[in-house]
Chains A and B, each alone.
Chain A
Amino acid sequence: MTQTMAVAKALNESLRKALENDPKVLIMGEDVGKLGGVFRITDGLHKDFGEGRVIDTPLAESGIVGTAIGLALRGYRPVVEIQFDGFVFPAYDQIVTQLAKMHARALGKIKLPVVIRIPYGGGIGAVEHHSESPEALFAHIPGLKVVSPSNPSDAYWMLQQAIECDDPVIFFEPKRRYWDKGEVDVSALPGDLHRAVVAQQGTDITLAAYGPMVKVCLEAAAAAANEGRSLEVVDLRSLSPIDFDTIQASVERTGRLVVVHEAPVFYGAGAEIAARITERCFYHLEAPVLRVGGFHAPYPPARLEEEYLPGLDRVLDAVDRALAF
């Protein structure tokens, strides 16, 4: 049962399936009803499942997440949409002080199966607050699980799994990949939500990426292949927890690692990966773990984002530097 669909459509189908499978699943957010969300991820769901299940909320993110917590306490499984990355912060208090900690506070007696979907990252020429990559701010919080698919199949299945998960999951959607198409096998049993996969095998160096940057790394691998270099690409898929075993196995083969993300390098996911992998594979490493990512500066205006975002050249430059060691 393989179909070709875009990431956006895969997410839409996944939400539809979740609503069909479990009457406790609710969709909540700004403009998720008739409009189908600003990216149309919830397109048609309001019409088919009604406003009792697909809920246009007041314009208040703290309210959305806070009430989603209450609904979860009552046995529902809310899937919340935050309209853009930069607008999750009014809800940050609820996410960090309540959502993430309630299970522990209640000594495990309550569960918080809330999914917070956040379109993230740049590359769409948007105004301020619409292009950010705040994933590290969530991965840093114990109690939250953080994942990000890079392709339609993962979009479909990882969202299913996030909704089934009894813990809060922050689900980062690579918005500039919404329209990228790929194969989705809606009947195949998925693997673990938090495992990383080798998206491209190679022997000279490992690139670790997630979400929107996986495609860039695959392109880098293709470009490097023309020059006789063999790049392995690991799609992390999950940022909390991180599947260090898969990265480690790859690095033990290649001896080199470059971590790539859009988010600023300073205190980013790459820092955590570099530290852990250095600890685990010190004697396998031929070069220090390098990182390619955003700068310690506000996400720039759209006309500068091409230079700001790590692209093929910046990734290949890091590859060169790692191989030159």
Chain B
Amino acid sequence: MSVKSTAAGGPPAKGRGRTSPRGHAAKPRTGEPGLVQLLTPEGERVEHADYAIDLTPEELRGLYRDMVLTRRFDAEAITLQRQGELGLWASLLGQEAAQIGSGRATRPDDYVFPTYREHGVAWTRDVDPLNLLGMFRGVNHGGWDPNENNFQLYTIVIGSQTLHATGYAMGVAKDGADAAVIAYFGDGASSQGDVAEAFTFAAVYNAPVVFFCQNNQWAISEPTEKQSRVPIYQRAAGYGFPGVRVDGNDVLAVLAVTRAALEHARSGQGPMLVEAFTYRMGAHTTTDDPTRYRRDEEREEWASKDPIARLKTYLEREGFADEDFYAGIDAESDALAKRVREGVRNMPNPGTMAIFENVYADGSALVDEERAQFAAYQASFEDAAAGSSAGTGH
């Protein structure tokens, strides 16, 4: 069970040819050792011994579009939070490649278990961006139907979802289906007992699950060194499954590695850990103040590795996109932002009695009683307004 063997299960490495690095470099270059990279920060295509990818210009433009629209959505959400339309927002700024690359590697029948920051992955699963905003506005705790897009609800309790993903994958294997499951988690989450237990279960049951760790270098104010002495991907070895570190700001490498990892899972070879090495460019959430714990220079350093800029450089160098394309994306971004803005502002508050809804699938006499008491209590205000003052209930 080696990483190398899994790459063979990935997409065919030859065929369309046009985007192969050999097209513009005399000698194939290789990226940083230990980090799978197919597109350098300077926008140059490089080869990797184990992971190949060959995309059409149209596919490349698609990835670019995904990332730009996701970033625009994210920026709009931050603005809406500042305007008081959202209570909170967890920005994905800087992590677009990690999320779009991995999300686009999934098939419709795969199943995704996200954290609270996977807005880009949600985009690739065709989850309406407006649906993501409900919980941040405070009108629900998630609210979308997880089974509609095989995209679970956001999980706030750190690490929990890695176990759910593992169990789901165990079920997929029992059913003899060839789908795979992908569990997202952060560098901070890698310390949680739940994550360690998920690794154990996945390994023991050879579950078809990919553990996708976005190492964005920070868990709120704590740098990754506070969580681990070894690179996170190396943890997999101790559990007996492969781990790989990919340049998380390189959408091509993330796509190639995640495809291979999902294929590894689907083909019965069990779990795999992917560490996407990236950076949280913004605050942890809109309530956080990163100036208290990290240097500006670090952020600037990472800004030079921006996932969108490097793909744009590549597209331009190769002549894969023209002015019309960029203008079209600008217009689409504006339209998306407008739709999100208006959608959020018009998002209705739930009715008070929603408190008592869906507490149980089979109902509960206790909930019924409390609901009735509370309804009577609320009605008493109307009675009082009408001249009576009888009050009942809680």
Binding site for B on A (CB under 8 A): 30-31, 33-36, 38, 56-60, 62-63, 86-87, 89-90, 125-129, 265-266, 292-293, 295-298, 300-304, 307-308, 310, 313-314, 317-318, 320-321
Contacts and interface: CB of A to CB of B under 8 A. Distances in A.
B366 interface: yes
A90 B192 contact: yes
Contact of A304 (B136, B220, B352, B370): B352
B392 A321 contact: yes
A318 B393 CA distance: 8
Nearest to A86: B157
B354 A304 contact: yes
Interface of B: 87-88, 116, 134-141, 156-159, 188-189, 191-194, 219-222, 226-227, 287-288, 292-293, 349-350, 352, 354-356, 359, 364, 366-367, 370, 374, 377, 380-381, 391-394
Contact of A297 (B158, B189, B222, B359): B359
State the majority secondary structure of interface residues on A: loop
State the majority secondary structure of interface residues on B: loop
15 contacts: A56-B222, A58-B191, A87-B158, A89-B157, A90-B193, A127-B116, A295-B355, A295-B356, A296-B364, A300-B354, A301-B140, A302-B138, A303-B138, A307-B355, A317-B380
A317 B374 CA distance: 12
A57 to B, nearest CB: 8
A324 to B, nearest CB: 8
A296 B370 contact: yes
Nearest to A91: B193
B78 to A, nearest CB: 16
Contact of B293 (A30, A34, A298): A34
A33 B355 contact: no
Nearest to B348: A303
A302 B141 CA distance: 9
A39 to B, nearest CB: 10
Closest A-B pairs by Cβ, 8 of them: A302-B138, A35-B221, A58-B191, A59-B188, A34-B293, A60-B191, A303-B138, A317-B391
Nearest to B116: A127
Contacts of B391: 317, 320-321
Contacts of B352: 304, 307
Contact of B141 (A33, A57, A298, A307): A298
A86 B193 CA distance: 16
A298 B226 contact: no
Contacts of A304: 349-350, 352, 354-355
B193 A317 contact: no
Contacts of B350: 300-301, 303-304
B137 A303 contact: yes
A278 B359 CA distance: 31
Contacts of A293: 394
Given A90-B193, A295-B356, A317-B394, 12 more contacts: A30-B219, A31-B222, A34-B292, A58-B226, A63-B193, A126-B88, A127-B135, A293-B394, A296-B366, A300-B350, A301-B135, A321-B391
Nearest to A87: B157
A179 to B, nearest CB: 14
Contacts of A127: 87-88, 116, 135-136, 138, 141, 156
A51 B366 CA distance: 49
A295 B374 contact: yes
Contacts of A36: 292
